[in-house]
Structure formats: structure tokens, C-alpha cells
Amino acid sequence: MKPQILLRTIHHWGSIIIALPLLLMIGAGILLMLKKEISWIQPETVAGSTTDIPVLTLEELFRAATTVPEAKSWVWGDLDRVDFKPSKGIVKFVGPNSYEVQVDTKTGAILQVAYRRSDFIESLHDGSFFSDATKLFVFLPAGIVLFILWATGLYLFFMPRIKKRKNKQKKREAAQLRADGLRQPAE
């Protein structure tokens, strides 16, 4: 089988096989690129009262965060993440229920409580939302097949153009040889 036919076949069937996981990856990826611009995806970071070294201990900051209804049941070990933002003077606590509580590091005041969707969208993007097996045996192969589609697509796009250019070059050279043969002086 010619390489071009084989690559077209791989390109054709590969794109059909990975269509659904790829659609999910692309859609979630676009949302993730916009997470800092759209507060619905990830809450905007609010500035605290100072950017100095925190006055309150981590324990005091966590205790302050658990005063809001969305964080009443949080325990330290169940937190999804704790993000320190020294340049903003805050600490973000993200709980297992995906709520984010932003606390001022100087006063302990609650600056914002909001639902954080970016982690859920990221789990859709990499397939871990479904299971680790889905991530490794569906989304990873889909990414590999996408790479193969990219490579075969480049080959299928550039190869005909390269062949066309070579053929034109050969024709020019042949015409030049014929022209040179006619110009040679008779002996």
C-alpha cells in the first residue's frame, strides 16, 4: 500500500475514533484558557488589606474561613487546596465542595466566597472526572492519536506540494539542458 493511501486511511479512521474525547478536551481547554477572564469559571482574586507578612496564623485563617456556611463542615485534611497569594494579601481555601473562601491575611476578614468550576473543568479536560482508567486508556490514547493525525496531516498537506515543486524543477532542468544542447557551437 502506498504511504499516502495508508496515511489517509489512518487520518480518516483516527479522527473518527477520537472525535468525542477530543471534543471534550477542546471544549474544556477553551474554558480553561478563559478561567482568569471569566469569574464564573474561577472566582476573581480579591486584594487584601496588606501585602506584608501575614499577621494571623494559618490556623486562625482557616478558622475564619470555616465561619461561612459553605465551609462550616470543612476539616483541614479534606481541603482540596490552600493557595497563598502574598502579592494580594490573601489566602484561598478550596474545600471538597469546590467552594473557594478568600481570607485577608492581616484581618482574617472573609473577602469572597464563590463556587470554583475550574477544577471540575480541568478534570473533564484530562478525563480524570470519569476515572483514572478513562484518563489513561481513553484520553491519553486520544492525545497520542491526535499527535499522529497532526503528523499525517502535515505529510498529506506538504508532500504533494514538494513533489510538484520537484517536478517543476526537473522540467526546468530538462528544458535548460535542451536549450544548452541547441546553443552548442557546431564543430
User: Could you list the pLDDT tens digit for every one of the 187 residues in the chain?
Assistant: 888 888 888 888 888 888 999 999 999 999 999 999 999 999 999 999 888 888 899 999 999 999 999 999 999 999 999 999 999 999 999 999 999 999 999 999 999 999 999 999 999 999 999 999 999 999 999 999 999 989 988 988 998 899 999 999 999 988 888 887 766 665 5
As a residue count, the chain comes to 187
Q: Quote the pLDDT of residue 137.
A: 94
pTM of the model: 0.71
Residues 74 and 95: their CA atoms lie apart, in Å, by: 7
Q: Quote the pLDDT of residue 25.
A: 93
Q: Quote the pLDDT of residue 69.
A: 96
Residues 47 and 89: their CA atoms lie apart, in Å, by: 6
Q: Quote the pLDDT of residue 88.
A: 93
Q: Quote the pLDDT of residue 71.
A: 95
Beta strands in the chain (DSSP E): 81-85, 90-94, 99-104, 110-115
In sequence order, the 6+-apart residues with CB closer than 8 A to the CB of 76 are: 62
Q: Quote the pLDDT of residue 50.
A: 86
Choose among 165, 185, 167: nearest CA to 175. 167
